[in-house]
Amino acid sequence: GQQVMQIPQYQHVQEGEDFTTYCNSSTTLSNIQWYKQRPGGHPVFLIQLVKSGEVKKQKRLTFQFGEAKKNSSLHITATQTTDVGTYFCAYSSNTGKLIFGQGTTLQVKP
């Protein structure tokens, strides 16, 4: 079945630096969702994108859905220690199943 590949798997940044994680699919996706899981916590829904080329912002976070709806990115500007965690992309199949990428774990050095 369809899969989404996330890169990078790990990212270490200095506090204040920017961070980007990418989610790629070989086939067109109907939607893409992003979740954040803090260390020791559970995934928390961040956002859903459904339109080609869609861009949404949440404070320092910018989410994009590619024009071909095959890729997505999450960009964090000026990272803070509170941004530490694993960021997952996921898409909802037409059978209701949510398929997750492997996640990008972000470490922020103060």
Q: How many CB atoms lie within 10 A of CB 59?
A: 7
94 is a contact residue toward other proteins (CB under 8 A): yes
Q: Is the dihedral of CA 35, 76, 20, 12 positive or negative?
A: negative
**Rg of the chain (C-alpha set):** 13
Q: How many residues bind other proteins (CB under 8 A)?
A: 20
Q: Which string of DSSP letters, residue by residue, matches 19-32? A: EEEEEEESS--S-E
Smallest distance, other proteins to C-beta of residue 78, A? 27
**C-beta closer to other proteins: residue 64 or 104:** 104
Give the x/- contact pattern for other proteins in 23-62, rule: CB under 8 A. Answer: --------x-x-------xxxxx--x--------------
Return residues touching other proteins (CB under 8 A): 31, 33, 41-45, 48, 88, 92, 94-103
